[in-house]
Amino acid sequence: MTDIPLAAVVMAAGQGTRMRSATPKHLHPILGRRMVDWVIGLGRELGAQPLVVVASPETAGEYADDVRVAVQSQALGTGDAVRCARGALEGAGDVLVLSGDHPVLTAELLEGLIKTHRTAGAAGTVLSFEPADPRSYGRIVRDESGSLARIVEASDATDDELGIREVNSSIYVFQGEYLWAALERLEPHNAQGELYLTDTLSFLVGDGRAVAVHVATDPRDVDGVNTRSDLAVAAAVLRDRINAAHMHAGVTIVDPATTWIEPMVEVAADVVIEPFTSLKGATQVESGAHIGPHVVAVDSRIGEDALAGPFCYLRPGTVLEAGAKAGTFVEIKNSRVGARTKVPHLSYLGDADVGEDTNIGAGAITVNLDHGRPGKNRTTIGSNVRTGVDNAFVAPVMIGDDAWTAAGSVITDDVPPNALAIARAKQVNKEGRGGKRDD
């Protein structure tokens, strides 16, 4: 790479009507991020400055502070979109043009594109690929020498041109000075007044400028998203990449096809992840933990040698300390479960702090919502506590170390250390009041 500064513009102003959604296409979530955020993240990874997103007026406020936003008031085509960003990119050296609906792009591929562009000394360079189905992609038309002659849109292509397998990805690199001059020459192609960015390459070729083509070796890295089906395919590609990286780092994923791990999740070596597990947000999993099957963990920390699952839901703020267990049909939210403590089955812990070496009996519920006042109350359960089955803990309440609670108890008052708490009505048998009646 040279020292030429790199800027980037991400086109994200389209509505994506084929998604059949009130949500703009670029803002659809895909594996923990919005589609466009995957592309913006590549711009950051490449060190592009400035990094500009071209957005519609309705979505202009949806981006982080380190991203400049240029508003495209009307959807007048890709050429107009890049032209809207000119003010934010003025003076840039090389300009990388990205489409916000290409979430499976990789930094390695874009680095190859930029290297080809700079090695060739090109005024503009296009990223091409050969998909199994060229569909409505613009065709790359080459001249007798193999150089780019033009890019023809599928709707304008002849039958022979439609037979071309190499297509345009809508991803480019330009030398800034040539890009702005070419954009000034664009003219609309239809009654809608749309301006095609592809025409700038034809202008450069016609002017005798060097125009290069960089061919992606794996078409899956370049395919865009236009429909819900495309979205699912892209999500699977991203899932497989993330899972492969974790497995390469020493994580056992029993069935990668049913395991979804979002990009911000941290998983240490020697973790085992069973099928149908989803790890989301900023979840952290420490070495030796065993997760799943059928576990969802969101913004949680699962400690060393901890167990979660099967059929377990760890909501934001959950911490399982080393050796702790959250078992079958257990839900935990905003709670800390101490080292070696077991919550084996059929329980809900919300807004709770549980000490070490405690066993929570089946059917435990922390009653954390006080209907008489706003907010949630906390339950504190000490170390080496044994709670009975079908206990409810009405917060705020504290259970001391070494205490026991009897089965079926509703605990409304604090329990001192090393005490047995019984909070249930005395059983009364009413003779002759069962289901059988004498006539």
Q: What percent of the chain is modeled with pLDDT above 70? A: 97
* Residues 158 and 298 placed together within one structural domain of the fold: no
pLDDT at 164 over 80: yes
SS3 371: coil
* CA gap 184, 193 in Å, rounded: 14
- The answer to whether residue 311 sits within a structural domain is yes
Instruction: Give the integer Cα–Cα distance in Å for 60 and 85.
Output: 13
pLDDT in tens, 50-99: 999 999 888 888 888 889 999 998 888 899 999 999 998 877 899 999 99
Give the C-alpha separation, 269 to 260, whole Å: 17
Q: What is the mean pLDDT of residues 97-121?
A: 96
Domain that holds residue 309: 249-421
Q: Residue 290's domain is classified under what CATH number?
A: 2.160.10.10
| In-domain check, residue 237 | no
168 & 272 share domain = no
Are residues 162 and 53 located together in one domain of the fold? yes
C-alpha distance from residue 13 to each of 18, 25, 27, 69, 73 (Å) = 15, 9, 10, 11, 9
pLDDT for 250-280, tens place per residue?
999 999 999 999 999 999 999 999 999 999 9
Max avg pLDDT among 74-78, 333-337, 425-429: 333-337
Residues 204 and 265 in one domain: no
Residue 340 and residue 296 share a domain: yes
Mean pLDDT of 19-32: 90
Q: Spell out the residues 6+ positions from residue 337 whose beta carbon is closer than 8 angstroms to its own.
A: 318, 319, 320, 321, 324, 326, 343, 349, 354
> Is the same domain home to 287 and 371?
yes
Report which of 106, 104, 37 is spatially closest to residue 238, judged by C-alpha positions.
104
Known catalytic residues are 345
Same domain, yes or no: 25 and 155: yes
